[in-house]
Amino acid sequence: MDGYESNRRDFLKKLGLIAGATVLSTTGMAQVEELITDKKEKYKLTPEQTKFMKMYEKWLDEFHGMAKFQKKDPDHLDNNKKLVALSEEAKTWQKELIEHMKDENFARYFMIATERVTTVI
């Protein structure tokens, strides 16, 4: 595994751990399974959270496509550069994400939205 792949995986693990820890601390283990099969539309977000999630879901769609492509062709230089750029972009809004994750509704919504990508990674 090269340095890029290691950094990407580390970043995504940290992002997942932050989200997961927040969810577990607010919901408990018994509710995690329910969360996974839940619908994000069920959770009401504030206007700021909604704005963040629109940006995040756009980012997630782009990241998802590139992550899928990387599984097929891990040495594709342009795709790998784009993945690095997306990871760097995510660092710019990580503090905002951490703040939003303090809200149980947001944390549930976020985990549901993110679930589809975690299977690819």
Number of domains observed in the structure of the chain? 1
The pLDDT score that the predictor gives to residue 58 is 92
Identify whether the C-beta of residue 87 lies closer than 8 Å to the C-beta of residue 17. Answer: no
The pLDDT score that the predictor gives to residue 29 is 46
C-alpha–C-alpha distance, residues 87 and 117, integer Å: 14
Mean pLDDT by 10 residues, the chain (121 residues): 58 58 49 54 88 93 87 89 90 93 90 75 58
Q: Which domain holds residue 40?
A: 2-119
pTM: 0.63
